């Protein structure tokens, strides 16, 4: 299930085919979430000072939402950019 096969395309729901509301573009790709709980989960993961490896990650089983994040979102060097993108999504909700 690919929500954004091309990093330049906006994310859409794979079942309904509609554009997701909670998303914003960065220079690496799109940051998107289904709802505020999902967005806050991503924010907590990205801002964590130490993200240890997930034990089942080496076996090809990617069972958690954060384990399925794109590699660029999991890299510490992109932390500030991802957190700014999440803040933009939160700010867009306050404007509506």
Q: Give residue 2's pLDDT.
A: 39
pTM above 0.85, yes or no: no
- Condensed to tens digits (0 to 9), the pLDDT of residues 3-55 reads 445 666 788 888 888 888 899 999 999 999 999 999 999 999 999 887 555 55
- Spatial neighbors of 53 by CB under 8 A, at least 6 apart, are none
Going by pLDDT thresholds of 50, 70 and 90, the confidence category of residue 94 is: confident
Element (H, E) at 25: strand 22-25
Asked whether residue 93 carries a pLDDT value surpassing 50, the answer given is yes
3-state DSSP assignment of residue 15: coil
Q: What does DSSP say about strands 30-33 and 22-25: parallel, antiparallel, or unpaired?
A: antiparallel
Predicted local distance difference test score (pLDDT) of residue 56: 46
Banded model confidence at residue 1, pLDDT cuts 50, 70, 90? very low
Q: How far apart are CA 20 and CA 24, in angstroms?
A: 10
- Per-residue pLDDT of 47-78, as tens digits, reads 988 755 555 445 555 567 777 888 899 898 99
């Amino acid at each position: 299930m690919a929500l954004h096969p091309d990093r330049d395309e906006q994310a859409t729901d794979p079942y309904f085919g509609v554009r997701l509301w909670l998303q914003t573009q960065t220079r690496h790709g799109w940051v998107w979430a289904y709802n505020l709980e999902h967005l806050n989960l991503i924010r907590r993961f990205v801002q964590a000072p130490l993200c240890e490896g997930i034990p089942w990650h080496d076996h090809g089983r990617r069972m958690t939402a954060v384990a399925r994040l794109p590699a660029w979102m999991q890299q510490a060097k992109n932390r500030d950019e991802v957190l700014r993108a999440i803040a933009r999504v939160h700010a867009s909700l306050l404007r509506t």
